[in-house]
Every structure is written in C-alpha cells, then in structure tokens.
C-alpha cells in the first residue's frame, strides 16, 4: 500500500471517529452506555470539544492536558501514529505534555519519539506533516519504529481511563460537568 493510499485510508478512519464523536455529543450514550471511568471523562470534557478544536488557547491548563491526551489516544487507537501526526501533529508539544500531566511518562515518551520521526510534524498542513514518510522504504526501520511505539501506546488502553478519571477528580474546578 502506498503512503498516499494509507493517508487516504487514515483520513477515512479519522472521519469515522469524528462522526462517532458528533453522535456522542448529540446522543449521549450512543452506541454504548457512557458508564464507568470513560464515561466520567467523557462527561468532564463534553462541552470542551468546540473550544479544543477552534480556540484551544482558551482552555485551562488542566483542560488542555486532558483534551490533548484523550483525543490523541483516540486517534492513535483508531489509526496509529500516522493518524496522530495527520490530525494533531501541529499540537505535538501539547499532546506530550498532556500525557505527562496525566502521569503517563512512557506514553508521552512514545508519542514524542514518534513525532520526532516526522520533522515537519508541527506544520499546519497534514500533507506537509506526513511528507517525510513518502521516502520511507516499505517495512523499513522507520515503519518498524512507528509500529514499536504504537505497541507501547496500546499497552495503556486500560490505564488511560483510570489516570484520566483521577485527573478529572483532582481538578474539579476545571471539569464541573464531571459525574462520579
């Protein structure tokens, strides 16, 4: 599969993710009951998505940390590190800081290392962020490293909701809509 085809497929996954997020905003509980720790976090950030997307500088530091980490984890989980670079590569510093703030330094290090593979990750245009990967040999060392880093992030699937819910509980002023 060529890099362009992979990027196209990745954008399709991100589009699906966006649709699911929009459905959740309009229909709480769709398609799953929003119970347990992920539900606590979803309730806490429910009203922050527009600010996160349109004016992230208006978020409090705690809100920014949680939103960047939670969103990045969803992107990585659904499309790997390429999805992260494509969608939030220009906010790489904030993403790494978010994972550190949640107490996940190994996750933060994995994301930081992945972003380092994309020297233009901080640029505004997704195509520019991902351009370096076009020169990678299929199955080459860069792809192997990306896969290794993704494996590290996937190992936090059960830990992130716990850390995020604890973070929300530690910052009640920043997340007044959290239930628990």
Provide the pLDDT confidence category of residue 62 given band limits of 50, 70 and 90.
very high
The reported pLDDT for the residue numbered 180 is: 53
Distance of CA 2 to the CA centre of its chain: 24
- pLDDT beyond 50 at 16: no
Who has greater pLDDT, 77 or 11?
77
- pLDDT beyond 60 at 51: yes
Sign of the C-alpha dihedral, residues 60, 175, 94, 128? Answer: negative
CA 141 – CA 149 distance, rounded (Å): 12
As a whole number, mean pLDDT of residues 32-44 equals 65
CA 156 – CA 15 distance, rounded (Å): 24
Kindly give, in sequence order, each residue whose CB lies less than 8 Å from that of residue 83, ignoring residues fewer than 6 positions away: 10, 13, 14, 75, 76
The reported pLDDT for the residue numbered 8 is: 57
- pLDDT beyond 80 at 98: yes
**Of residues 140, 76, 159, the one with CA closest to residue 114:** 76
As a whole number, mean pLDDT of residues 158-174 equals 89
The reported pLDDT for the residue numbered 23 is: 46
Domain boundaries of the chain, sorted by first residue? 3-170
The reported pLDDT for the residue numbered 116 is: 93
As a whole number, mean pLDDT of residues 159-172 equals 89
70-to-16, 107, 123 alpha-carbon distances in Å: 17, 12, 21
As a whole number, mean pLDDT of residues 120-145 equals 89
- pLDDT beyond 80 at 58: yes
């Amino acid at each position: 599969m060529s890099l362009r085809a992979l990027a196209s497929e990745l954008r399709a996954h991100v589009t699906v993710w966006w649709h699911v997020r929009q459905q959740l905003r309009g229909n709480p509980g769709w398609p799953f009951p929003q119970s347990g720790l992920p539900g606590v976090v979803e309730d806490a950030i429910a009203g922050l998505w527009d600010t996160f997307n349109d004016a992230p500088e208006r978020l409090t530091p705690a809100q920014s940390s949680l939103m960047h980490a939670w969103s990045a984890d969803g992107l990585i989980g659904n499309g790997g590190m390429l999805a992260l670079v494509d969608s939030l590569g220009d906010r790489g510093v904030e993403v790494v800081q978010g994972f550190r703030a949640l107490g996940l330094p190994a996750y933060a290090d994995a994301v930081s290392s992945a972003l380092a593979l994309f020297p233009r990750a901080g640029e505004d245009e997704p195509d520019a962020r991902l351009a370096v990967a076009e020169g990678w040999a299929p199955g080459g060392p860069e792809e192997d490293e990306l896969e290794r880093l993704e494996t590290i992030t996937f190992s936090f699937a059960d830990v992130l909701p716990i850390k995020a819910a604890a973070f929300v509980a530690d910052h009640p002023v920043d997340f007044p809509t959290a239930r628990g």
